[in-house]
Structure 1
Amino acid sequence: MKRISIAILLFFLSATAFAQDLSLYKKAFFVANGDTLKYRILYPKNFDSQKKYPVILFLHGRGESGKDNEKQLANGGKLFLNENFRNNHQVITIFPQCASNSYWANVEIDTVNTKRFFTFIKGGQPTKAMSLVLQFTDNYFKNSFVDPTKIYVGGLSMGGMGTFEMLRRKPNTFAAAFAICGGDNVLNAKKYKHVPLWIFHGGLDDVVTPQFSYGIYRKLKKLGNTPKFTVYLKANHNSWDSAFAEPDLLPWLLSHKK
């Protein structure tokens, strides 16, 4: 009985610590033309508005869509709360949340017998969610404390698709990027052929085929920019777990400067 009580206590203590960690991401929102983008923002320790800081924009997956301004931290939120990382890197990290009735990327999705099929659009108008992010970043990146030479973007699944879209819609903004289990129309790749990019995918992904990531990798290689490309042969769609465990991911990202 005593062991059970201790286990329960430890569970609640760890759950509380986790909640407290995520609470370091401050809740905020951005309004444009009557539409609202909710986001969470993590400032570096001892933030000083008189200094300049790198900024990482992170785009979540479809499962974290909504309006609670909380779910978007489920995958990736803890990555930037790592004490070693925070003690050694002064970075602003932003997690916007996509509404459930929109999508980060301009992609057509059809479902046949519970299987989803993606058709990525070349060009086209941004979705409402993407439009809000574009307007928000145009506004936020003008802050005097943002280092314009050290702005980065990354995301997973829908957010990996959104990462490619951000790169092509703002090709001169980002110093580097990473995309996990995402995809894009290969004809869009020429827009971001100059951006250092690390692409990840699970070899067994049965939600978003790894062929999408490989297609971008192959196209960029033909265009003269060979991105880093990592395939986890035994991973399914949640290849972000393996990508987040890469010790070089954030150091690699932050090593780039425009």
Structure 2
Amino acid sequence: MKKIFLTIFLMAFILFLKAQDFNQYASGNYIKGKDSIYYRILFPDNFNPSQKYPVVFFLHGSGERGSNNESQLVHGGKLFLKDDVRKKFPAIIIFPQCPANDYWANVNIAPNEQGKRTFAFVEGGKPTKAMHALKNMVKDFLKKPFVNKEQVYVGGLSMGGMGTFELLRRQRKTFAAAITICGGDNTNNIEKYKKIPLWIFHGGKDDVVDPAYSIAISERLKTVGDEVKFTLYPNANHNSWDSAFAEPDLLPWLFGHKKN
């Protein structure tokens, strides 16, 4: 009984520590007209509002949708809390949250004959309600005097990877570079973000979002784009973000880009 109690206590303590870590991300929101979006934001250590800092917007997957303004930090939130990351790359990190009944990208989802989801990405089209709010939130935040507009980045995983592609084509002049993990897009949209440096990741055994989506985009970009990197993890399933976040060159590559 003592061992069981000790195990439960340790698990609760670990969860408490994790929650404490995420408390370093302040809560924020953007509400204007019909737009409403909540986010968590991490400022650099010793933040000085008279200085200018890079900004990273990170888009979560469908499993982290909701209204608690917390779940979106589950994947990726810890990466930017690491001491070495905060010292090497002092930046403002923003994790917006998509509502439970919405989606970042404009995509039609349906099961195939095997019961797996297929994604039909819209070419062009109107943004979802969440994307509309996100676009305007980004524009509004970039008006702040402490933002370095030459170093604005976006990244995302799964649904957030899809949202990243869409945000890039809707605001192509905003971002200096981007990363997408296990995402996808209609390849006809590539022309709109072909000049933005991209690092695309996917798991070769992904049974949620077919790696063929990322492969098609990367292959097309290699012929028309300015800079594209593609990393396929042969044995990874949908959680290829674990491998991507562990890439030692990920953040040096991202922050190494400045908008021309």
Which TM-score tier does this pair reach, normalised by the shorter chain? over 0.9
Shift of 1:23: 0.6
TM-score (norm 1): 0.95
Task: Tell me if structure 1 keeps the 8 A contact 2:200–2:229.
Answer: yes
- Residues in 2 aligned to 1:170 and 1:199: alpha-carbon distance in whole angstroms: 19
Letter in 1 for 2:43: Y
- Provide closer, same or farther for how the CA distance between residues 224 and 25 of structure 1 changes in structure 2, counting only shifts above 3 A: closer
The corresponding residue for 2:42 is 42
Aligned 8 A contact 2:195 2:227 in 1: no
Corresponding residue number in structure 1 for 2:17: 17
CA distance in 1, matches of 2:225, 2:60: 29
Conservation of the 8 A alpha-carbon contact between 1:217 and 1:226: no
Tell me, what secondary structure is at the counterpart of 1:190?
helix
One-letter code of the match for 2:226? N
SS at match of 1:155: strand
Q: How much has 1:90 moved relative to structure 2? A: 1.0
1:90 aligns with 2:98: no
Moved more, 103-112 or 199-208: 103-112
CA contact (8 A) 2:69 2:97 kept: yes
Mapped to 2, the partners of 1:83 and 1:164 lie a distance apart of 30
Alpha-carbon deviation of 1:154?
A: 0.2
Once the two structures are superposed, residues 195-251 of structure 1 have per-residue CA deviations (whole angstroms, 9 ceiling, x without a partner) of 111000000111111110011101111104341100000011111111111111111
Supply the distance in 2 between the matched residues of 1:179 and 1:88 (Cα, whole angstroms): 22
Structure 2 residue aligned with 1:137 = 138
Aligned pair in 2 of structure 1 residues 224, 29: CA closer, same or farther (>3 Å)? Answer: closer
Deviation at 1:75, TM superposition (A): 0.7
Aligned counterpart, 1:256: 257
Amino acid of the structure 2 residue aligned with 1:234: N
Q: Superposition pairs for residues 22-37 of structure 1, below 5 Å?
A: 22-37=22-37
TM-score, structure 2 as length reference? 0.95
Give unmatched runs, 5+ long, in structure 1.
none
Task: State the partner residue of 1:147.
Answer: 148
1:1-258 equivalent positions in 2, closer than 5 A? 7-112=7-112, 114-258=115-259
Q: Distance in 1 between matches of 2:258 and 2:3?
A: 52
Q: Provide the aligned length of Structure 1 versus Structure 2.
A: 258
What value does the CA root-mean-square deviation take over the aligned residues?
Answer: 1.5
What is the CA distance between 1:128 and its match in structure 2?
0.3
In the TM superposition, residue 5 of structure 1 has moved relative to its aligned partner by: 6.0
Structure 1 window deviating more from structure 2 (81-90 vs 51-60): it is 81-90
CA distance in 1, matches of 2:159, 2:52: 30
Q: Structure 1 111/143 Cα, relative in aligned 2: closer, same or farther at 3 Å?
A: same
Query: Quick check: 2:203–2:238 contact (8 Å CA) kept in 1?
Result: yes
> Which stretch of structure 1 is more off in the superposition, 25-34 or 203-212?
25-34
What is the letter of the counterpart of residue 141 of structure 1? L
- Work out the CA distance in 2 between the residues paired with 1:225 and 1:87: 30
Post-superposition Cα deviations, 1:63-86, rounded to whole Å, max 9, x if no partner, equal 000111111111111111111111
Asked if the contact 2:35–2:132 (Cα under 8 Å) also holds between the matched residues in 1, the reply is no
- C-alpha distance in 2 between matches for 1:145 and 1:116: 42
Residue 190 of structure 1 and its aligned partner are, at CA, apart by 1.0
- 1:23 maps to a residue whose letter is N
Query: Quick one: which amino acid aligns to residue 18 of structure 1?
Result: K
* 1:15 partner letter: L
Structure 2 residue ranges without an equivalent (≥5): none
**Distance of aligned partners of 1:95 and 1:224 in 2 relative to their CA distance in 1, 3 Å threshold:** closer
Q: How far did 1:38 drift?
A: 0.8
Post-superposition shift, 1:16? Answer: 2.0
